Structure 1
């Protein structure tokens, strides 16, 4: 069963909490997840790289809407979690996230 979380109180507060292409780690219930924003698109994904558990909060967001792991530079699609570059590694777990007039809605 999914749980819905809302961060911020409106669109402006949500945008100010999540600067462009920054990665923030947040605790949502019992789950620790990373959030990133590209323009008006918000992405939520597992906080540890599925390769060797490096913190993706220390990673980077590239121009292809991928998160790049800081340890071995594996790249994951922020929309699907698919591994785009790297060795033998499971895909990244991603969660539904949306910027609304009420803030950022995330389904875990």
Structure 2
């Protein structure tokens, strides 16, 4: 597992990521989906395991699940599980917030 810096600080991440609004994050050749929930950052693959839809075009609900914009499948941002076990789980990447930046494990 390789740790890659994606933001210089938590404050920078908060400035670039609106709360509970998915964004596309590109790291090398990987296209990922990032979500900030208060001071917690979550990163997953950007493709829905069911349909391949871009999850950064989806939304986050009150249960802190990311919802696919195509068929409304819901994925837990902590473990990637689909709420109704209708498809494969979403791949989730570990995130570390340190004094010198925010890091993502690839």
* TM-score, normalising length: structure 2: 0.91
Conserved 8 A contact 2:7-2:103: no
Offset at 1:52?
0.9
Counterparts of 2:10 and 2:55 in 1: how far apart (Å)?
25
Aligned positions, number: 106
Q: For residue 84 of structure 1, give the secondary structure of its aligned residue in structure 2.
A: coil
Counterparts of 1:104 and 1:21 in 2: how far apart (Å)?
18
Q: Larger deviation: 98-107 or 33-42? A: 98-107
Structure 2 stretches lacking a partner, 5+ long:
none
**Pick from 77, 102, 105: which aligns with 1:104?**
102
For the pair 1:38 / 2:10, whether they are aligned, the reply is: no
2:83 alignment counterpart: 84
* TM-score, normalising length: structure 1: 0.89
